Each structure stands twice: as C-alpha cells, then as structure tokens.
Structure 1
Amino acid sequence: MAKSMHTICLIDAPPQLVDAFRMTGSTILTLAASPLPFFDLPKALEEHDCTPDLVLQVERLGVRSLLTGLDAVDCPLLFWCIDPHLNGHWHDSYARLFDLVCSTQKAWIPKIAGRGARDVRWLPWFGQEQEWMPWEEREHGLTFVGRITDQRPARKWMVEFLQERAAAFNPAIRDAVPFPKMMELYRNSRIIPNESIFGEVNFRLFEGASCGCMVLGQTIGSEQEELFEPGREMDTYSHIAELGEKLALYLSNDRLTRTMAKAAHARVRAEHLPEHRMQRIVDYAKNANRNRATGGEAAKWTALSVCSLWEAGQFASSVKEVLDLLDGVEKDGEVAAATLRVQAMAEMHPLLKTNTRALLAAKQYETVPELNLAASMAALRVDHFDGAKAFWYRHLEASEKRAAPPNDRKTLLTLWATDLQRRGMLVRPGFNFDPARHLPMTAAECLLAILADEPEDIPTLRMLDTILQPVMGTEQARVGFLSILTLHQRDEWRLALEIALANLRSYRLESGLEELQVAHEIARRQGQENAFLRVLKGRDPSGLLIRKITQKTS
C-alpha cells in the first residue's frame, strides 16, 4: 500500500480538518458523499482524475452514506466514527470495509471491532484555534448550549438547576444556536457545564476549552482524563449534588476558575487542534495494513451495514431493497440472522415460520450465536414456541452451557437475557428498540419484550435494573423501573438507595436526597446502617452524599 501522502481524498470531512490538510501542501480532493445512500468512490475519483495516497471518510451525523467500490482503490482506506456511542450497532459492520477505523470514543473500540475489524484506533475529536477573550470582559458566568426537549427530561432538569444556581451570574441557556454564534457565546462565558448522552467525550468539552472556558463535566473515567486533567484544566461531577457544590465553588472563585480555563485553552492549542488530528491520521495511514473485506465479503458487510441502519430507521430503503441486498450475498449465519430481523419488522410471518423451520430441519448455522438468537426470537414472533426452544437448545449445546428448560415465553426470554448479559451484550445505545417491531438482540431488549406484556413483572424489572446499572445514560429509564419496584418492596434499603442515586444522576436533587434519606432510615431500622454507609461510600467516593444525610440527621 502507498506510504507517501501527496494526494489525499477527504469525504464528508469538516472544513477545519480540510484546512489542516491543505496547510501541508498536499493535493486535497474533498468529496461530499452524503446525502446519497451509496457513493461510488472509484467513479468519483475517476471523474476528478484523482489517484489518492489516502482516503478518509468522516461519519456524517445527518443522512448516512455508504461508500462502494472500495476494492478498486489502491491506497489506505480510513473511516472515522464520530458517534460510536449512538451508532455502534452499524459501525461494527461498516468497519469491515476499511483498512483502518478510528473512533472518537476510546471505550467503544471493542464494540466497533466486534465483527472482526482488525485495526481500530482512538482518534478524539478536536477543538479550534480561538483567541483568549479577557476574563473581565466575559458577560456570562455560565453558559449551556444544547437540545432541550421532552425526550431528554434529565437535561431539562439540569438546565432548570443551572438557571436557579447561577441566577446571579447572568447565565445563558440556549437550545438551538448556529455554530459560529455558539462559539461567540462561549468566548463570552466563563463556565460551561457539560452533560453527555451515554457517558461519551463530546464536542462540548473541546468547544468550551477552545474558547477558554472552565468546563465542568460528568465523571466519565480515564478517557476524558487523558484529554484534559481534572482539577487543573477542567473539573467533573458524579451527580447533581456534586454539580451544585462545584458550581458554587467556581462561580464564587474567579481566580481559580480563570486559571483552569487558561490551562484548558493552552491544552487545546498544544494537543487538540485540527492539525494535531490531521497528523495522527497521516501517521496512522502510513503504517496501515490492507485489512478491508473484498469481493463477496465486501458485498456482505455492505448489506449488513444497510440492514442495521434500516432497522434503526436511518436508511431510506424499501424492505424489498434491503432483502434483495441480503439475498444477493453468500449466505452465512450473520446474513441469515439479519434476514430474519428484516422479515420480522416487515411482518412477513408466513415466511418467518417457513425459514425458521427450514433452519432447524437443515441444522444450518448451529454454532452461530447471533443466528440462534434471531431465529429463536423469530419463532416466538410467529407463536412457534417449540421452535424457539429448539434454537435455544442449539445455542446451549454450541456454547457448552447448561440451563433449566424453558416452559413458557417469559422464561425463554429471561434465559436469553441471562446469556446475553454474560456475554456483555447489554444494550444497543442509540437504537430505539420497539418490542412490537424489532427482534430482541440484547439482554435489555429481551427483558423489554417481557415488560411489553407484563409491565410490572418484578423479577424482570429487577434484572433489567441490574443490567442497566453500569450503563451511563440510562438513569432516567431506571428511575421508572425502580419506582415500580419500590412500590412493591418498600422495606428494601438497597432499592431505595438505587432510586436515590438514579435520581441524583438524572439531575433531580430534591427527589434524590429524599430517597436517600428514606434508604438511610430503612437501613437504620433494620440495624444495617453501617452496611448502608459502606455501600454509599463505594458508590459516591467524594463522600458528599454521606455528609448530606449526616447533616439531615444531626
């Protein structure tokens, strides 16, 4: 593969990154693949008389576009996943079409590589070169810009909290602002509170730091800390009580806030500008191997990418077009599973019944977990319970596991959920699962299929909460499940503690502290106060919540 990088093709790349590549003196061809669903890359290169040394496609966050004809391109092919925390359900298939795949989220690299992509590397987002705005000239003590909708109640509660706590500091809260106006607003602000969707390192962190603001973001672990040092270049909070404490500190301590904002501004200039990402892309490409799928394999992964996007409502193809794509590639267990999922969504019930029976009779793909799961769920969809059980037994035999035999639909779904939980297949973030349309493919989805018929089934609710507890961004949903559980099990302090913490992480301060007090009282009545305090300390290492309840009871 070519190692020199004199001619570079950038597809759907942001202008700042394009400018960084142009500054190197290389010949740059920019192409806009989106909004075409399929973009014939060799044809476009021929039209522009371009023979590139590197091709980079950047994920477009609007209408998705899939590149085709990649076999014919003789240079390193890179794809940059921008929102893997929302789109990992199709990135893992599309990744197979490239030599090297980059992810803005380090934590999502295993998911992107989950279907066999050989080379997936971390490439965080970037900031911008922005002049330092004098601190004393900044009008807003606090600014938040982001979508505020009924679909994200936790963010609405956060914004209400910010407006109340920063009322004396001329806060600016904006819902929809064009990018240049947003950056102008940030340059005129001191503190930027940050909130993410699923615990991802988001654009707001880089944008706020670029403008010399002190970003106060959620605690999301070492990935964020590698980019900006907490306590020096930004700060973090684990729940709304801690957010309140730190807001009070930074709003009233201008010197400290300015010092940290300056450090963040300098860090962006030193490490997080478009030219830094450009250089890393070039370095990655220079040692990339030829890992892309070719021929029939490429057709397969294109079809599976389309299928995943279509299931999620992100690809404007008809059912026939999707099924024709799947039918046009060599059959294997993954293709068969995808076909069943599409047929289920299209309510092709007679065909589902025929196909599941044929798979059983021919003993096809017996050792493919994805196929056994999809076929078991498809058989349930057409009320063929014996067939659904048979696929479960096939899976057990292939995985050399044992389990009690399922006697009904709920038991079977619970068994699958347990198995999927063991394999780490908990949720599909960004995928709006509908039990009436989609076949369950994760542990949480199997349980949601049960709850669609029995919304207050206690064992299912408890298991679902256990599955979602480690998944950041599901706190608001957990509050709903836990509210039902606590109605039925009022004397369980661990449940009361969970709903308290979920409320606090959903930006509900009063409800969270009230529930925390309830949990404490229950534990005290049962002689388990020490156990309660140990658990709370483990879940809130700052010790703030223990101090809160101690103040209440003293």
Structure 2
Amino acid sequence: MNKENTKIIAWIGNTFFRTGMDQLGYKTIHIPIRGQQVFTWKDIVEKSGCIPDMVVYADRSIAPPLAGVESFPCLTIFYCIDTHIHSWYPLYAQGFDICLVSLKDHLNRFTPRLPDSRLLWFPPVVMNNDVPLTMEKEWDLLFVGKVDPDLTPERMKFLDEVAKLVPGLHITQGEYRKLFPKARVVLNIAERGDLNFRVFEALACGSCLLTPYIEHGLNDIFTDGVHLTTYEAGNAADLVNKLEQLLANKELREKIARQGNELIESSHRIIHRAETLQAVISGMDVNKAVSTRLAANPIIRKNFMKSIYLHWAEAISDPLLKQVYLQAAKN
C-alpha cells in the first residue's frame, strides 16, 4: 500500500490490534475514549483532522460511543467483545458494515442484516509485550485479578473453596506479566463462561495454564492437555485433581506451557488479527457495502438503532449526551 493510496482509519476506543493495521500499510489515528463520550461523524472528522476511509470502534464496554454510525459515509467496523454483558450489542452492530465478535457462540445473535462474510468470530488478541520471562517459581498456583465480595462474589466464593484445598494458592492483583512467570501453574476463572483475554495472555507469557472448560471456541483453538489444561467450571475438586497432576510433573508443565506459547506465536498475535481483518476488507466491495447501508439507513435506524439511542437518551445522566442520542434517533 503506497503512501498515495494509504487508507486512513479513525480508531476509536481500545487499541487492541491497531498497530497491526499500521504494519499492513494503513494509517490509524487513535481517538481514545475518556469516561463516557459520544462521537458523531462531524466529531470524528474534526478529531482525525481528515475524512477517514474507515472507522473502527474497539469495544470499551460503555454506552454507544458512535451516534448515527449507520449514516457514516465510510466503512465502519465494530470489534465487539462484551456480548456476555451488553445484550444490546447485536442490535447496535446492525449499523456497521463489519462486525468482529469475540465470543463465538454469540455470532448467531448478529445475523439480521450482516452477511456471514462480514460477521466474524474474532478471538482475543495478545499485546506485543506479553512474552515469557524467566523468574524463580514462588507459588504452586496463582490467580491474578479482582476478588471482591460485591463485584465478583462467585469468583470469591470459588477461590475460597480452592484455597481450603490448595495451601500453595496465591491470589493477588498487579502486573500479570511480572507475576505469571513466578507461578508453576496459572489459574483462570471465567464465571461468565467467556473465552477471556486471560487465557491468551497467560499462554503468551509462557505459563502453564489451568482454565475452566468453556464454550465459545476454546476447543476450536486449543487442545486440552497440549496447550493448556481444563477443569470443570465451578468444580474445586476437579481443579485440585488436575493441579496435582501438573505439580507432580515438571516436564509436563513445561511442555504444555511451551506448546501453548508456540500456538500463540503462530496464530494469535496482533499482526494475525490485523491480517484477518485486512482479508475481509480486501475480499469485499467496500463502496457497494457502504452505499447499500446508506440507502437502507432509514430502515436500519427504525428497526435497530432508534430504540438503542432512545434508551440511552433516557438512561444516561449527562444532558449533552442525552441530546446527542435524541438527535441520532430523530435523524
């Protein structure tokens, strides 16, 4: 992609695989979201300093940050992660041209308007600084994350059960990249049943991972006993049984950790996700997709977007944002 033909992407929200698109020859302009913000097309053009060829919204798990996205005159892409939290995401996605869905089993929720070629399962991605570090092992089993009786009650209850059975369990918060290498086994919990980022992060850091068996494509990517080890979700006894097998065999732990890391390196880095999106864009008629959406704009707004905008106009407290959503519902 030469400079004269460089496509500009206004990248809104989390960065995720943004730098991978830069590597492939696109020019991304990052527009961060601070707190709750809502951007119109005019706002995006002003913040970009140009008219972008594409707009990407990378999930921030907030109220809809793009108002009137169904009428944006360029290719629009929604990288959708928290469908297990926000039930309105599939409706909102109908205003975009491409939707990338992190949780595989939720893909069928997004089908009303988007064709299969532009509705993709898009598993979590790991950052470039998620790499193996060599450190002395301090803990048999490590969990890194928030444990709070109000915010994560199920997690806290389960970890309490595990702690009674595993004296070597260490629970903490902090920079996982510097904590994972100190554990013989890293524990993941997925109380919402999602294939979460922690699975990919732990393997990228070269850890031997013990994670619950979940759906959403876990077995499509990883093989139990080869790349990671699974336990029955919520079953502390099964977790302990699998842990004891791992702790008793250092060679096995290191082999699983190595094979898990090799899979990440071969298929799940930033550049791999960017190449997947580029292939979708290259394989479609972008102008036709945008013009078709714009022609159907009134129907898309009526059938999908209006109810979302009206809901958030009522639910949100900021009077300025209320007006933005109300205007988007009227247009």
Confirm or deny a common fold (TM above 0.5).
yes
The residue that corresponds to 1:45 in the other structure is: 45
User: Closer, same or farther in 2 for the Cα pair 1:282/1:55, shift >3 Å?
Assistant: farther
User: Closer, same or farther in 2 for the Cα pair 1:94/1:147, shift >3 Å?
Assistant: same
The residue that corresponds to 2:159 in the other structure is: 159
The residue that corresponds to 1:8 in the other structure is: 9
The residue that corresponds to 2:299 in the other structure is: 297
1:5 positional shift: 5.9
Could you state the TM-score of these two structures normalised by the residue count of structure 1?
A: 0.51
Q: How does 1:137-152 map to 2 (within 5 A)?
A: 137-151=136-150, 152=152
User: Closer, same or farther in 2 for the Cα pair 1:153/1:203, shift >3 Å?
Assistant: same
Whole-Å separation in 1 of the counterparts to 2:52 and 2:27: 9
Q: Which runs of 4+ in 1 moved over 4 A?
A: 307-311, 326-330
Q: How does 1:344-493 map to 2 (within 5 A)?
A: none
Whole-Å separation in 2 of the counterparts to 1:327 and 1:22: 31
Task: Give the structure with the higher percent strand.
Answer: 2
- Kindly provide the CA deviation profile for residues 528-552 of structure 1, in whole angstroms up to 9, marking residues without a partner as x: xxxxxxxxxxxxxxxxxxxxxxxxx
> Which of residues 227, 230, 236 is equivalent to 2:230?
236
Q: Over alpha carbons, which structure has the higher Rg? A: 1
Whole-Å separation in 1 of the counterparts to 2:113 and 2:182: 46
Whole-Å separation in 2 of the counterparts to 1:47 and 1:86: 29
Whole-Å separation in 2 of the counterparts to 1:226 and 1:259: 20
User: Closer, same or farther in 2 for the Cα pair 1:310/1:6, shift >3 Å?
Assistant: closer
The residue that corresponds to 1:202 in the other structure is: 196
Q: Secondary structure at the match of 2:217?
A: helix
Please tell me the root mean square deviation across aligned C-alpha atoms, in Å. Answer: 3.0
User: Closer, same or farther in 2 for the Cα pair 1:302/1:38, shift >3 Å?
Assistant: farther
Equivalent pair of 2:10/2:48 in contact (CA under 8 Å)? no
User: Closer, same or farther in 2 for the Cα pair 1:253/1:231, shift >3 Å?
Assistant: same
The residue that corresponds to 2:247 in the other structure is: 251
Equivalent pair of 1:143/1:192 in contact (CA under 8 Å)? yes
Stretches of structure 2 that go unaligned for 5 or more consecutive residues are: none
Q: Secondary structure at the match of 2:18?
A: helix
Amino acid in structure 2 at the alignment position of 1:184: K
Amino acid in structure 2 at the alignment position of 1:265: N
Whole-Å separation in 2 of the counterparts to 1:327 and 1:307: 9
Whole-Å separation in 1 of the counterparts to 2:293 and 2:88: 16
User: Closer, same or farther in 2 for the Cα pair 1:255/1:69, shift >3 Å?
Assistant: closer
Whole-Å separation in 2 of the counterparts to 1:79 and 1:186: 31
- Kindly provide the CA deviation profile for residues 56-81 of structure 1, in whole angstroms up to 9, marking residues without a partner as x: 1111135652343552423x211011
User: Closer, same or farther in 2 for the Cα pair 1:222/1:327, shift >3 Å?
Assistant: closer
The residue that corresponds to 1:537 in the other structure is: none
Q: Percent identity of the aligned residues?
A: 21
1:261 positional shift: 0.7
Task: Give the structure with the higher percent helix.
Answer: 1
Could you state the TM-score of these two structures normalised by the residue count of structure 2?
A: 0.82
> Which of residues 87, 91, 94 is equivalent to 1:93?
91
Q: How does 1:296-335 map to 2 (within 5 A)?
A: 296-300=298-302, 301-307=304-310, 315-316=316-317, 321=322, 325=326, 329=330
- Kindly provide the CA deviation profile for residues 470-489 of structure 1, in whole angstroms up to 9, marking residues without a partner as x: xxxxxxxxxxxxxxxxxxxx
User: Closer, same or farther in 2 for the Cα pair 1:102/1:316, shift >3 Å?
Assistant: farther
1:36 positional shift: 4.6
Equivalent pair of 2:97/2:293 in contact (CA under 8 Å)? yes
Amino acid in structure 2 at the alignment position of 1:303: K
Stretches of structure 1 that go unaligned for 5 or more consecutive residues are: 331-554
User: Closer, same or farther in 2 for the Cα pair 1:56/1:138, shift >3 Å?
Assistant: same
Query: What is the total number of aligned residue pairs between the two structures?
Result: 312
Which structure has the higher relative contact order (CA within 8 Å, separation 6+)? Answer: 2
Amino acid in structure 2 at the alignment position of 1:83: D
1:326 positional shift: 9.7
Whole-Å separation in 2 of the counterparts to 1:242 and 1:77: 45
Amino acid in structure 2 at the alignment position of 1:296: P
> Which of residues 178, 187, 195 is equivalent to 1:184?
178
User: Closer, same or farther in 2 for the Cα pair 1:128/1:162, shift >3 Å?
Assistant: farther
